Amino acid sequence: MFAGFDFDVLIKSLPFLWLGMQLTLQLTVLAVGGGLILGTVLAVIRLSPIKPLSMAVAAYVNFLRSMPLILVIFWFYTLIPRVTGTSVSSFYSVLIAFIMFEAAYYSEIIRAGISSVRRGQISAALALGLTPPQAMRYVVLPQAVRNMIPVLLTQSIIMLQDTSLVYVVGLRDFLTSAEIVAGRDNRPIELYLTVALVFLVVCFSASRLVNLMRRRYSL
C-alpha cells in the first residue's frame, strides 16, 4: 500500500511547509492572545450587574456561537475592506475574525470558571473583613483560574486546529501549503497524511500535557 510513498517530495517541500507552519503558529498565538483579552472583558461585562450591558454581551456570544467559523471568516473578509474603505491583508481580516469568534467561546469558559466558585466563599471572605476587590483577588480568582485554565488550554488546541480554515480565503497556512504542493506535484497521499500526522502528534501531546497539569493543580 505504501510502496509508492515518496519521501523525496516531502523533503523537497519542507521549507515551504515550514513557512506555512510558521503562519499557522503565528495566527494561533495572536488569536489566542487577542481572544483571551477580549473574552475576559466580555466575561466581566457579562457578570456585571448592569443589565443592558450584560444582555448585549450574552446576545453577542450566543450569536457568534450559532454561526459556522467559515461564515464568520467570510463575513470579516468581505466586511472589513468595505467598512474601512481600504484593503486589509487577508491575514489581518482572518485574525480579527478568529479573535471575535474565539472570544465568544473563551468568555463562556471564563464566566463558568468564576461562577464555579461557591457563593459561600465570597461571603466568608467579606465576613473576614476583606474588601470586595481583595475577596476577588485572594479568594475567587485563585480558585476560578485553576478551574478554567485546563479548559482554556483545550479550547486553544481546538483553535490551533481551526486555523486550518484560513484555507477558504487562500491564506498559506500549514494545510494550505500542503494542498499547494499536493496539487503541484500530484502527491496528495504523502502531503495530506503528513499534515494529519503532524497535527495528531502536536495536538495529542498538548492535550496530554493539559491532562497532566489538570491532575497536578486541580483543587
Partner 1 sequence: MGAYNWNWPILLKEPYFGWIVSGFGNTCLIAVIAWAIAFPLGSAVGLARTTELPWLRLIGTAYVELFRNIPLLAQMFVWYYVVPELLPNDWSQWVKRDMPYPQFYTAVLCLGLYTASRVAEQVRSGIEAIPRGQRHAGLAMGLTPGQVYRYILLPVGYRTIIPPLTSDFLGVFKNSSLALTIGVLELTSQARQIEEYTFAAFEAFATATVLYCMVTGLVILIMRQVERRTRIAGTIALGAS
Contact residues for partner 1, defined by CB under 8 A:
1, 63, 65-71, 74-75, 78-79, 82-83, 85, 108, 161-162, 164-165, 167-168, 175, 179, 182, 188-189, 192-193, 195-196, 199-200, 203-204, 207
Question: Residue 205, Cα to own-chain centre: how many angstroms?
Answer: 17
d(CA 140, CA 6): 56
Residue 41, C-alpha cell as written in the block = 472583558
What is the closest distance, in whole angstroms, from the C-beta atom of residue 193 to partner 1 in the complex? 6
Contact, 166 vs 27, CB < 8 A? yes
Question: Judged by CB, which is closer to partner 1: 83, or 128?
Answer: 83
What is the closest distance, in whole angstroms, from the C-beta atom of residue 161 to partner 1 in the complex? 4
What is the closest distance, in whole angstroms, from the C-beta atom of residue 160 to partner 1 in the complex? 8
Nearest to 153 by CA among 99, 93, 102: 102
What is the closest distance, in whole angstroms, from the C-beta atom of residue 140 to partner 1 in the complex? 22
Checking phi first, is residue 178 left (phi over 0); if not, alpha (psi -120 to 50) or beta? alpha
Q: Which amino acid is located at 74 in the chain? A: F
Question: Judged by CB, which is closer to partner 1: 57, or 135?
Answer: 57
Question: Judged by CB, which is closer to partner 1: 126, or 189?
Answer: 189
